[in-house]
Amino acid sequence: MARPADPTDNATPSGLSAMVAALTAYTALSGETRYREAAEAALATVAPIVDKHPRFTGYAAATGEALLSGPYEIAIVTDEPTADPLRMAAHTHAPPGAVVVAGMPDRPGVPLLADRPMIDGQPTAYVCRGFVCDRPVTDPAELVAQLGG
């Protein structure tokens, strides 16, 4: 006996698509490339369906697009992560599949915040892909420009 598994997305993402998205986000949070490799391998299993029936693989295709674009990793180093304008701009303008982390610099257990100081004591945003970052910015408008908005 085998439990049926439907790889297509409908009103909700398939289990496979949800797992690929989770692995992609976890890769961005942890820096562990083995999770990205697992996400790519799982996504490859639905590639024929994406090619022939894209209507039924929307979430899988969006996650694949996020993998191709990086995904974006946005680190906001700040004393006030819940009310920071940079964090709000990042959540509003980040591309699909982006991971946004806000918190104190060098917060233990958060690789995206490691070695990313605030500039002149101001909250600072770092837009990265594969843990390689663009120049840091302190202005929400500059962050939006880096995000392509």
State pLDDT tens for residues 35-59: 999 999 999 999 999 999 999 999 9
**Average pLDDT score, the chain:** 92
Read off the tokens for 43: 């996504």
Cα–Cα distance for residue pair 21/43, rounded to 1 Å: 10
Q: Does 148 score more than 90 pLDDT? A: no
Residue with the two structure tokens 């009310």: 83
CA distances from 14 to 20, 27, 97 (A): 10, 20, 16
Q: What is the pLDDT of residue 122?
A: 95
| pTM (2 d.p.) | 0.84
Q: What is the pLDDT of residue 69?
A: 85
pLDDT digits (tens, 9 = 90+) for 77-122: 999 888 889 999 999 999 888 999 999 999 888 889 999 999 999 9
- Candidates 65, 69, 67; CA nearest to 54 is 65
Q: What is the pLDDT of residue 130?
A: 82
C-alpha triplet 112, 37, 27: angle, nearest 5°: 15
Q: What is the pLDDT of residue 77?
A: 96
Extents of the domains making up the chain: 15-68, 72-146
Q: What is the pLDDT of residue 96?
A: 84
Q: What is the pLDDT of residue 144?
A: 97
* Chain-centre distance for alpha carbon 66: 7
Q: What is the pLDDT of residue 131?
A: 80
Cα–Cα distance for residue pair 105/146, rounded to 1 Å: 21
The residues that bridge with 73 in the sheet, in sequence order, are: 99, 128
pLDDT digits (tens, 9 = 90+) for 8-23: 998 899 999 999 999 9
Cα–Cα distance for residue pair 104/136, rounded to 1 Å: 15
CATH class of segment(s) 72-146? alpha beta
Cα–Cα distance for residue pair 134/47, rounded to 1 Å: 31
**113 contacts 77 by C-beta, under 8 angstroms:** yes
**135 contacts 144 by C-beta, under 8 angstroms:** no
Q: Does 149 score more than 90 pLDDT? A: no
